[in-house]
Amino acid sequence: MTRISIHCFVSGRVQGVWFRASTKEQANRLGVTGWVQNLPDGRVEVLASGEKEAIATLYEWLKRGPELAEVTELTYEEVAWQDFQGFETK
């Protein structure tokens, strides 16, 4: 099994629509660890670590987000593995 970490920025209508809470739910369901936080510029930042397939599934979900979100852009880069205990909302 291959473990990877990704660092993402999500743009659009992604604050005030339960994006962070929904991301945490998805991450927990997939066994992904890391964190999610709102940024002052209106974007959401995500750092996620887990099995490659689980990260790919989370990435696909981030493209849409929760029902009320309108994602206009999702950027990401694979970063060095980071080990976290659970998934945190900052």
Catalytic center residues: 20, 38
Q: Tokens 């309108």 identify what position? A: 70
Residues 6+ apart with CB under 8 A from 60: none
Measured distance CA(55)–CA(84) in Å, rounded: 14
> Is 44 in contact with 9 (CB distance < 8 Å)?
yes
